[in-house]
Amino acid sequence: MLGAIADDFTGATDLATMLRRSGHRVAVVIEDGALPAGDGGAVDAVVVALKTRTAPVAEAVRASIGALGRLRAWGADRCYLKYCSTFDSTDTGNIGPVLDALADALDAERVVVVPSLPANGRTVYHGHLFVGPDLLENSSMRKHPLTPMTRSRVAELLRPQTAHEVAEVPWETVRLGGEALRSALAGTSARYAVVDAIEDADLLAIGAATADDVLVSGGSGLALGIPGPRRGGAPWVAPPPGRGAVLCGSVSRTSLAQVAHAALDRPVRRIDLDAALADPGAEAAAIADWVLTRPPDTAPVVCAARERADVRAEVGGTPGAVLVEAVLADVAARLVSSGQVTALVVAGGETSGAVVRALGVGVLHIGPELAPGVCWATADAHGRGIAIALKSGNFGGTDLFTRAWEALR
């Protein structure tokens, strides 16, 4: 029984997608939603989705320890802390403090640190994190508004966040396989070990070497090395047929390209931020009405920006992001309560948090994969069954917003 704690909602479904691939029956519990039945129940892995990536440190630690307690009561005998594959954090936290608190609570002597997700171009070699061919510090993450990543060596990123020692295990050791890696890890006195991984085989070796560890940590890639029981669970059941819509609050390069691709053959509408400032409820109502009056099989796209120039730090003194999140959350609630929309693709971690909260979702039942780290899930939204796919900003192919629907037919 694996209990995982993710520091954002899209990261939680990313991890659940990978756990499903490695043979787990997995559910994602939103914040303090009810956990599913324990041993003998329908799942053998639970991911608790938190919104702690950029929360104040004390709040992130408190929420994570709270989630750990609930997971242990559910029956978890191992814990996985999921953070971003680009190690999104600052010198003051939150990855180090949360790891310290979990390791103390679990009496973990040593914890691996494995951000790698090769399927999406995140690799670690000689301790340096790469995004595709670029060092992390030279990727678009350098300019991230909340967690700008200006260094690439994972140990250097973690050290300011913890008083414990941080060691590095090079790829030359990882490639020797699980047993050699286990011995190397046993030989280090450091609490944390950043382990290189440049391809999935490395993640399998790390998984094997840490099979007895009570706490592991990483992006979602490490889940590929944690085999599940492969018991056939209840089959995933798509929601009742209905309209679909995309709600995109992400303004990452990938998301903007996905919006541009969708615009080639379906309606796209951008939120009017000035109208949203004047009356957010009216702007959301107008957008929801627009969605519901498009041809039923078009899956229109509502977005916050078509290009980077559309991004406004503030609108009449209100942060643009606050308006975007309020409108998209309200649009989602209106579409679902209309009873006509039964499937939503939501793009962006912050956006997903706002939408999922507005829909009152407690549990996501993981379904088919749309791209590495992106999947459909079913959920109960205030009594209505829906399918929802939470997409991390940088994940998915250009055609994700147009092809996602095929998996529901």
Report which of 17, 26, 393, 388 is spatially closest to residue 224, judged by C-alpha positions.
17
Q: CA–CA separation, 49 vs 30, rounded Å?
A: 5
Is residue 372 a contact residue for ligand LCNOYBR7 (CB under 6 A)? no
Strand duo 384-391 + 374-381: pairing: antiparallel
Q: Sheet containing 122-125: which strands, arranged edge to edge?
A: 122-125, 128-131, 134-135
Is residue 10 a contact residue for ligand LCNOYBR7 (CB under 6 A)? yes
Q: CA–CA separation, 264 vs 244, rounded Å?
A: 17
CB of 319 to ligand ATP, least distance (A): 7
Instruction: State both tokens at 198.
Output: 């440049």
102, with CB counted inside 10 A (0-12, 13-18, 19+), is buried
Question: Using CB under 6 A, which residues numbered 72 to 111 contact ligand LCNOYBR7?
Answer: 84-86
Residue 229, CB-side half-sphere exposure with 13 Å CA sphere: 13
Query: Given the rule CB under 6 A, which of 8-16, 58-66, 91-99, 180-188 is the region that contacts ligand LCNOYBR7?
Result: 8-16
Report which of 87, 32, 43 is spatially closest to residue 361, judged by C-alpha positions.
32
Query: Given the rule CB under 6 A, which of 43-51, 191-199, 214-222, 320-328 is the region that contacts ligand ATP?
Result: 320-328
- Between 228 and 320, CB nearer to ligand ATP: 320
Instruction: State both tokens at 84.
Output: 């971003």
Q: CA–CA separation, 20 vs 227, rounded Å?
A: 10
- CB 369, CB 21: distance < 8 Å: yes
Options 100, 283, 325, 330; binder of ligand ATP; rule CB under 6 A: 325
Options 81, 149, 324, 333; binder of ligand ATP; rule CB under 6 A: 324
What residue 324 binds from ligand LCNOYBR7, ligand ATP, none (CB within 5 to 8 A, per partner kind)?
Answer: ligand ATP
Q: CA–CA separation, 288 vs 152, rounded Å?
A: 42
Instruction: State both tokens at 112.
Output: 């691996």
- Between 311 and 407, CB nearer to ligand ATP: 311
Instruction: State both tokens at 251.
Output: 């303004």
Q: CA–CA separation, 225 vs 228, rounded Å?
A: 9
- Between 85 and 89, CB nearer to ligand LCNOYBR7: 85
Is residue 254 a contact residue for ligand LCNOYBR7 (CB under 6 A)? no
- Residue with token string 């340096």: 128
Options 4, 5, 11, 44; binder of ligand LCNOYBR7; rule CB under 6 A: 11
Q: CA–CA separation, 346 vs 327, rounded Å?
A: 13
Is residue 353 a contact residue for ligand LCNOYBR7 (CB under 6 A)? no
Q: What x-and-dash track marks residues 173-212 binding ligand LCNOYBR7 by CB under 6 A?
A: ----------------------------------------
What residue 14 binds from ligand ATP, ligand LCNOYBR7, none (CB within 5 to 8 A, per partner kind)?
Answer: ligand LCNOYBR7
- Between 161 and 254, CB nearer to ligand LCNOYBR7: 254
Q: CA–CA separation, 184 vs 84, rounded Å?
A: 25
CA distances from 108 to 58, 132, 192, 195, 210 (A): 21, 32, 10, 17, 12
Q: CA–CA separation, 49 vs 42, rounded Å?
A: 19
Is residue 201 a contact residue for ligand ATP (CB under 6 A)? no
Query: Given the rule CB under 6 A, which of 119-127, 199-207, 246-254, 357-365 is the region that contacts ligand ATP?
Result: 246-254
- CB 324, CB 369: distance < 8 Å: no
Options 10, 94, 120, 161; binder of ligand ATP; rule CB under 6 A: 10
Options 311, 360, 380, 385; binder of ligand ATP; rule CB under 6 A: 311
What residue 348 binds from ligand ATP, ligand LCNOYBR7, none (CB within 5 to 8 A, per partner kind)?
Answer: ligand ATP
CB of 178 to ligand ATP, least distance (A): 32
Options 242, 367, 393, 396; binder of ligand ATP; rule CB under 6 A: 393
- CB 29, CB 47: distance < 8 Å: yes
How many chain residues interact with ligand LCNOYBR7 (CB under 6 A)? 12
The residues that touch ligand LCNOYBR7, with contacts defined as CB under 6 A, are: 8, 10-11, 14, 84-86, 219-220, 349, 373, 392
The residues that touch ligand ATP, with contacts defined as CB under 6 A, are: 10, 249-252, 255, 304-305, 310-312, 320-321, 324-325, 348-351, 392-394
